[in-house]
Amino acid sequence: MKRIFLVVLAAILFSGCGWIGQGDRGHLVGVQNRPDAFYADPPGMVFIPMGSFTMGPSDQDFAYSHNAVSRTVSLPAFYMDETEITNNQYRQFVHWVRDSLARSLLADFDDRYAFFEDEFGMPLDPPALNWGPRIRWDGEDERDILSELYLPEQERFFRRREIDTRRLNYRYFTVDLQRAASPGGRDIPRSELVREHEVNIYPDTLAWIRDFTYSYNEPMTKQYFWHPTYDHYPVVGVSWVQASAFNVWRTQYLNSYLSGRERPFAMDFELPSEAQWEYAARGGRELSPYPWGGPYLRNAQGCFLANFKPLRGNYTDDGGLYTVIVGHYPPNDYGLYDMAGNVAEWTRNAYDESFYIFGHDLSPDFQYDANEDDPPSMKRKVVRGGSWKDLGYFLQVSTRAYEYQDTTKSYIGFRSVQTYPGRDREDGRGASNVY
């Protein structure tokens, strides 16, 4: 009894001496001095308010695909890129991976390129890269150290010293939340829920040749991803796996900046779900087959409203031959460009013909992260929006198509979404400030 009394007395004294000083007077007031909850609009993204809509066919299923039924679903608010990810935006990812490999090599010879201890003096294994010093690619010492990043002599064209794109691999980790949430998931060691990924992130430029038989597309293969003319054209030749890796990098890149300023982490960037994509593409219009609202592919002046294949063998009547610069055609009512045509777009969802039947009506989502040895049918991912080489049917906001997650096409790109943390914007539009 005496021991119990002393423990209770110590607890009272600790409470009296330690917590009263916080100014809460012993009342339940929550943790104080929390970070500001203001969430700024990510640059280049459009705010999509929460809402419900009729997901599914807005017109007859004349393709008889029988892979969608109309149903009402609800979604929380989110942000979406106003255009497809461009060559120059994706190139930032490629350069980051290239530079990180270079700094890893240089760190073995120069301590300036890495941090070997944390702020408490504890060793870091592996070391953290230091992005402060500028890489001297043509420096006398650096040139030899970085030589393994370049093509070997026997593989060079006209003796040009070029980066070996086969080395541009991005390594990252994800947590299997579905398995963690399953019965018994709490008993699974945390290390078993972490999945390691390593992805070569360089776009497949040869897709321009591979996709079309007896067609001269070699100039696009050679120049499309690197020539400045195409900087603001949508990136293509990127697989679903590569697009997913890009979003992991984009999230970590922003969080690294926010962490350095002691600000809360941002919500994850992801590929949109089918429901998010269709809801955003409709632009707030119900039962309209196209993002611009009307049932026709031309405006009142007879001009085509998207970049697609309007006539048999005639790719140019809409103003483009292949892809065109993003934002060339008018946006929908949410301010989103090219939700129909230009390039089709990856979503994060696995493809199943019956998903609309078994999917939930609250943020419907169906994900399956296929392994390399899974059968091809398990690697199908939903593609939406139609492209520059597609007929008008594929431009409809409700048309479902698929491609395999490890394939690359010259007519498929992507854009990102980011869930909005909270209920909704009071003004329904979003903040004017940026990160």
Asked if residue 20 is part of any domain, the answer here is: no
Measured from the Cβ of residue 269, the count of other Cβ atoms closer than 10 Å reads 22
CA angle, 22 as apex, 20 and 25 as ends, to 5°?
A: 45
CATH number of the domain enclosing 369: 3.90.1580.10
The set of residues, in sequence order, having a beta carbon less than 8 Å from that of 146 and lying 6+ positions away, is 102, 105, 106, 137
- The answer as to whether 352 is a domain residue is yes
HSE (CB half, 13 Å, CA atoms) of 250?
A: 23
Domain region containing 71: 44-86+212-238+276-425
pLDDT in tens, the chain (435 residues): 445 444 444 444 444 455 555 678 888 988 888 887 777 889 999 999 999 999 988 766 666 567 678 899 999 999 999 999 999 999 999 999 999 999 999 998 888 899 888 778 888 887 889 898 999 988 888 889 999 999 998 998 888 899 999 999 999 999 999 889 989 888 899 889 999 999 999 999 999 999 999 999 999 999 999 999 999 999 999 999 999 999 999 999 999 999 888 888 999 999 999 999 999 999 999 888 999 988 889 988 888 999 999 988 889 888 899 999 999 999 999 999 999 999 999 999 999 998 989 999 999 999 988 888 899 999 999 999 999 999 999 999 999 999 999 999 999 999 999 999 988 876 645 444 444
How many whole angstroms separate alpha carbon 82 and alpha carbon 270?
Answer: 14
Q: Angle, nearest 10°, between helix axes 87-107 and 240-260?
A: 70
Tokens of residue 140, six digits? 């006398």
3-state secondary structure at position 362:
strand
CB 217 within 8 A of CB 410: yes
| Residue reference for tokens 């039962």 | 287
Q: Residue 25, Cβ neighbours under 10 Å: how many?
A: 8
Beta bridge partner(s), residue 344: 412
Phi and psi at residue 13, to the nearest 5° = -65, -40
Q: How far is CA 302 from the centre of its chain?
A: 35
Contact by Cβ (8 Å): 42, 434: yes
Q: For the CA atoms of 181, 184, 187, 191, what is the dihedral angle to 10 degrees?
A: -50
* 148 domain-assigned: no
Whether 266 is in a domain gets the answer: no
**Interatomic CA distance for residues 383 and 112, integer angstroms:** 45
CA distance 414 to 422: 25
Radius of gyration of the chain (CA): 26
Number of domains the chain is built from: 1
Q: Residue 150 domain-assigned?
A: no
Residue 263 to residue 254: CA distance in whole angstroms: 11
Residue 301 in domain: yes
Does 130 map to a domain?
A: no
Q: Say if 347 falls within a structural domain.
A: yes
* 172 strand-pairing partners: 197
